[in-house]
Structure 1
Amino acid sequence: MSAFTFSNNLSGSKVLASLLMALTLVLAGCGAGSDTSQTNAQASNDVEGGNNDETETGNGGQDDPVDEPETSILNLISQPGDASIAEGESHTFVVMVEHENPITVTWSRNGQIVQSSSSTSLTASTAGKYLCYISDGVSSAQCRSFTLTVTASQSLSINSQPSNQMVNEGVDVTLSVAASGSGSLSYQWYFDGSAISGATAATLLLDAVTVADAGEYYVVVSNGSGSATSNAATLSVSASLGQALITWNPPQSREDNSRLAASEIQSYEIYYSDSATGTMYFIDSVDGDNLDYTATGLAQGTYYFSLATVDTYGLKSALSSPVSVTIN
Structure 2
Amino acid sequence: MRFENPFHIAVVFLCAFALSACQSGEDENMLQSAVRGKAIKGVISQGVVSTYRVSEENGSLSLLSTTSTDSNGRFSLNINHDEEQPLLIQISAQPVVTTMTCELLEGCIAEHSGVLSAFGEQSYVDDSFQLLGLIATDSFGEKHAKVSALSHLIVATALNLPGGLTRGNIEFAERWVMETFQLSNSPLISELIDISDDSALAQNDSDDVIQAIIGASFYNLSQTQSWYDASITIDNFPISSILEQAQVLALSVNHHLPVTDQHPELIASPSSQNKADIFLLSSPTDANVNQYSPFFLRAQAYSNQVLQYQWRFNGEIIPGANDAIYGKTHASLNDAGVYDVIIRNAQNQIISSSASLSVEPKELSLKITKQPRSQSIVSGQSIELNINTNAGSDANVSWQKGASVLANKNSSTLVISNASQSDAGDYRAIIEYKGEVLYSSFAKITVTEALNTLRISQHPSDQDVLAGHNVRFEISAEGGGFMRYQWFKDGNAIEGATNATLAIESATQTDQGNYTAQVTSSTGNLNSKAAQLRVIAQNVAQTLVEQPQSQQVYLEDSFQFSVASTLATSHSYQWYKDDKAINGATSRIYEVSTASSADAGTYYATVNNVFGSIRSSSASLNVKAKPSLSLSWAMPTERENGEALNQSEIYGYKLAFGSSENSLSNSVEIVGAQNTNFTLSNLDPGSLYLHIATIDSDRITGRFSQPIEVILQ
Q: 1 or 2 for the larger relative contact order (CA 8 Å, sep ≥6)?
A: 1
Instruction: Tell me the TM-score normalised to structure 2 length.
Output: 0.18
Larger CA Rg, structure 1 vs 2: 1
